[in-house]
Every structure is written in C-alpha cells, then in structure tokens.
Amino acid sequence: MIAHHLPILQIIIPLMSAPFCMFLRHHFWTWALAVVISWLSLVMSIGLLLQVLDQGVLIYKIGGWAAPWGIEYRIDNLNAFVLVIVSVIAAVVMPYARMSVNKEIPRDRAYLFYAMMLLCMTGLLGITITGDAFNLFVFLEISSLSSYVLISMGRDRQGLTAAYRYLMLGSLGATFYIIGVGMMYMMTGTLNITDLAALIPAVADTRTIQAALAFLTVGLCLKLALFPLHMWLPNAYTYAPSVVTVFLAATATKVSVYALIRVIFTIFGGVDILDTLQVRDLLMLFAIAGMFAGSAVAIYQVNIKRMLAYSSVAQLGYMVLGIAMANVSGVTAGIIHMFNHALTKGGLFMAMGCVMYVTGSVRLSDMAGLGKRMPLTMAAFVAGGLSLIGMPLSVGFISKWYLIQAALEKGWWPVAVLIVLSSLLAVIYIWRVVEVAYFTPAPEGKDVVTEAPMSMIIPMFVLIGASYYFGIDATTTLDIAHSAAEVLVGGIR
C-alpha cells in the first residue's frame, strides 16, 4: 500500500518536515531531522527507480483525479534517475552540513538553514517528479526562493548581492517559463505534459506555439545557466555557504537541464523542433561557446570556489551540447553527465568546504603547501579534478566518451575536436591549484597536518569514490541513461 503512494510521499515528507523544523528550533535536532528525511528520500527514490525499471512508467493521480483535469505524477526512467541524483546528493550533503554550518552560520539561525535546505530539496524533487507543466513552475519557484535565502545566509555580505541578482534573473527565467506554458495552454487547453505532447503537433506551425517554445527555452536556459545566461551563477556559488554551494552546484542546474529535456523531447517530441526552428544551431553554438568561455575564465580565477563555478558553466555546456545533438548517444551523454558531474562537482566543492573550514579562505594565494597540511582533502580535490578533466576510469571520461561518440555518429568531427580541446583547458585550471598546494612551500608554522573533521571528510570521499566507482563500472548508470534516451529520442521520430 505504501509502495503505491511512494510518488507523493517523496514530495510530502520533505515538504512537511520543513515547517516542523520551525517548531524544533534547535540546531542539533533540526539537523538530525534533515539527515533522517534526506536518507528516507534516498530510500524512496531508489524504491521508485527499481519499481520503474521493473514495471515501466509509473502514474500517480493526485487526489484520484484523472489526468487532463487532475495533476498526475508520471515517473519514467529519466525522472526516476534524476530523483535518485537529487536525493543521493542530499543524503550525502546533510551529514556533511553539520560541522560546516556550525562554522559558517550563526547557531541561532541554523534551524532556518535546515528548513530551507529541506524546502529546496522538495522543490527540486517536485520539478523532477511532476507530470504537469504548471505544477513544475510552482516547484521551480519553491526551489528557487529557498535557494535565494540559502545563498544569502553566508557570512560574506557579497552573498546578499549575489542572492539579489539571482532572485532577479531567476524570477525572470521562471516568468518566461510561465509565459510559455500559458501560450501552450491557449492553443491546446491542457497543462498535462503527456497531453501536451499529443496535442502540440496539430498546432505546431502556429506563431503562438513557436513563441511559447522560445519563452520556455530561454526561461529554462536562464535557470540552468547556459552561457551567456550564466551571469548569476559565479557570484551565487562563490559567496553562498559551502554546504549550499555543494548542494546547488550538484543538483539545481541539473534539474533545470532535466526540465529542458522534458520540454524539447517530451512536450515537443512529436515535432522535430530542433531542426525546423533552428533551435539546435543556437543551443549548440551557446553550449560550445560556454564550454570554452567557462573554462577560459576559470583559468584566471584566484578564488577557487569561483573557479569551480565557472567550470560548472563549461560542464553545463557539455550537457546542453549532448541534448542539442538529439541522437541516442548524445542524449545519453547529456543524462549521464548530469549524474557524473553531480558526483564530481559535489566532491570538489566539498573539498573546498573542508579547506574553508580549516583555513577560513578558498583563495589560491592562501593554499600554499595545503597538500601537506590537508593531505586527505587535497587528495580528494586532485581525484575530483582528474574526473573533471575526463581521465579514463573516472566518470568524466564516460560522459565525454559518449559525447564524442555522438558527435562522430553525426559526422561532426570538428565538434568532437572542440570537446577534447575544451577538456584540456580543465587541465590548466586544476593544475594551478595542484601547483600551489603541492609545490609551493607552506608559510612558517602552517605545515602541521590539520584536517577537517571526519564527518566532512567521509561524505567527500563517498562522492569522489562514487565518481570512480561509476567510472570503472558504468553499466548500471549507462543502461538507465541509455534506455531513457531511447524513449526520448524515439518520441522525435
């Protein structure tokens, strides 16, 4: 009986626990609650994934109302997989959060922090699970509003302006998205994603639907920080508390990528919009520009969190590039890179969180000799960096391999060359950190080993370890991504 209601429990449990934090009002107990909820979420999402893999698409009618009138939650391979990504990251971040939050956020406000984390998680899970275009907007705003609050909670006052700018651009993006949904509703009279997919082909040639597509794409690309719409991201990631950066970098943009996939391949799946409207050329152009611009700007950063943030812009370029290619390998690469990049970037930002915990700074100039001082953390950073570059045996290699394969299948070998070249840029910015941390002597009196607490080290190694585990044995994740991509791309033909 419980198994039948899993889709709604996945949302209701974190949603209801957030106000519960407000009653607990104690930094330790709210943290404990957040850990329990995130682990429960993980169990539920894995349960859903197994159920979907076993029985095919799951449909849950909320309140028992049938589809076009009621809201339905519709779970297939793709969103079951994204649910697992979000809840895995949440389950690893929450235990990590305790020490880091104690250090970076005033104790009397910590309970609010955990309440917001739970709400943000609810929003992200909701975007992923829902089968209703308007419901998606509501969850998008739940996750966005809570992430603005989270970003502004850091000690640095620049976090406030970063949060303000994100609020402006994020709201514009979300509003663009509802304009698009409204236009689709005008033409089809439905908000259900499956229903839209069935009705859109008949009206696809109208100006209204084409404008709707433009609004949806631009709105979602703003949320997922596709170059040149990424302006909110670097500051938001740099000045947010470490835990928030880990969580948002690993999940928020990925979920927006998922929403874009839904729009392009499910809602507009019946019409070949990527070709008929030249959306593909635009997306590819911006994706490739982002891959280079993001990496190139990252090389010049002196703040390592900001460097990793720009690297995220580049990595999102790879995901969008895979989507824009719209063949099975390309979309597989896009989907698998969501998972792989979540693990790798989560691990890297966790390493920076540890450095922040011990030294109070993540500037490159303060990292001299850090390889001796924090051997475990820096080892994890190097391992994560290698995965970012795309070294064989790491997950980064798997995604890039598929992406290059997709480009070659299309016969676009220049794109494949560009993918390799932009990966080489990652070597440069990771090397800069390695050089300072390992080959520059530490200042006097700062060469004693002082590691971050185990409760931070272990989650970090879980993510970095996973990014090699799934690099060596990628069959499970690849199978899921591949079958999801086949369904999506199949819709186009």
Q: Out of 164, 292, 412, 431, which residue is the one contacting another protein (CB under 8 A)? A: 164
Q: Does 214 bind another protein (CB under 8 A)?
A: no
Cβ-contact 131, 194 below 8 angstroms? yes
As given in the structure block, the two tokens for residue 15 are 């949603």
In the complex, least distance from residue 192 CB atom to another protein, rounded to whole angstroms: 12
In the complex, least distance from residue 349 CB atom to another protein, rounded to whole angstroms: 23
Cβ-contact 150, 248 below 8 angstroms? yes
Nearer to another protein, 230 or 400 (CB): 230
Cβ-contact 387, 344 below 8 angstroms? yes
Candidates 21-29, 76-84, 163-171, 449-457: pick the segment binding another protein (CB under 8 A). Answer: 163-171
Beta bridge partners of 318: none
Nearer to another protein, 153 or 462 (CB): 153
Nearer to another protein, 44 or 183 (CB): 183
Candidates 71-79, 99-107, 138-146, 394-402: pick the segment binding another protein (CB under 8 A). Answer: 138-146
In the complex, least distance from residue 418 CB atom to another protein, rounded to whole angstroms: 32
Q: Out of 182, 270, 453, 465, which residue is the one contacting another protein (CB under 8 A)? A: 182
Candidates 115-123, 157-165, 246-254, 356-364: pick the segment binding another protein (CB under 8 A). Answer: 157-165
Nearer to another protein, 29 or 185 (CB): 185
**Cα distance between residue 461 and residue 382, in whole Å:** 12
Nearer to another protein, 120 or 460 (CB): 120
CA distances from 60 to 2, 48, 266 (A): 13, 12, 18
Q: Out of 138, 231, 379, 487, which residue is the one contacting another protein (CB under 8 A)? A: 138
Q: Out of 34, 71, 83, 145, which residue is the one contacting another protein (CB under 8 A)? A: 145
Cβ-contact 180, 212 below 8 angstroms? yes
Q: Does 161 bind another protein (CB under 8 A)?
A: yes
Q: Does 185 bind another protein (CB under 8 A)?
A: yes
Q: Does 20 bind another protein (CB under 8 A)?
A: no
Nearer to another protein, 37 or 178 (CB): 178
Q: Out of 149, 255, 348, 489, which residue is the one contacting another protein (CB under 8 A)? A: 149
Q: Which residue reads 């404990």 in tokens?
A: 32
Nearer to another protein, 73 or 137 (CB): 137
Q: Does 222 bind another protein (CB under 8 A)?
A: no
Q: Does 171 bind another protein (CB under 8 A)?
A: yes
In the complex, least distance from residue 237 CB atom to another protein, rounded to whole angstroms: 17
Q: Out of 163, 236, 368, 464, which residue is the one contacting another protein (CB under 8 A)? A: 163
Measured over the CA atoms of residue 69, residue 73, residue 76 and residue 82, the dihedral's sign is positive
In the complex, least distance from residue 244 CB atom to another protein, rounded to whole angstroms: 15
Q: Does 3 bind another protein (CB under 8 A)?
A: no
Nearer to another protein, 116 or 297 (CB): 116
Candidates 32-40, 174-182, 271-279, 337-345: pick the segment binding another protein (CB under 8 A). Answer: 174-182
Closest CA to 276 of 205, 193, 184, 208: 205
As given in the structure block, the two tokens for residue 228 are 């040149």
Candidates 43-51, 165-173, 307-315, 399-407: pick the segment binding another protein (CB under 8 A). Answer: 165-173
Residue 444: CB atoms within 10 A of its CB come to 6
In the complex, least distance from residue 457 CB atom to another protein, rounded to whole angstroms: 33
In the complex, least distance from residue 8 CB atom to another protein, rounded to whole angstroms: 18
As given in the structure block, the two tokens for residue 63 are 């309140």
In the complex, least distance from residue 317 CB atom to another protein, rounded to whole angstroms: 25
Q: Which residues bind another protein (CB under 8 A)?
A: 134, 137-138, 141, 145, 148-149, 152, 157-158, 160-161, 163-164, 167-168, 171-172, 174-175, 178-179, 182, 185-186, 191
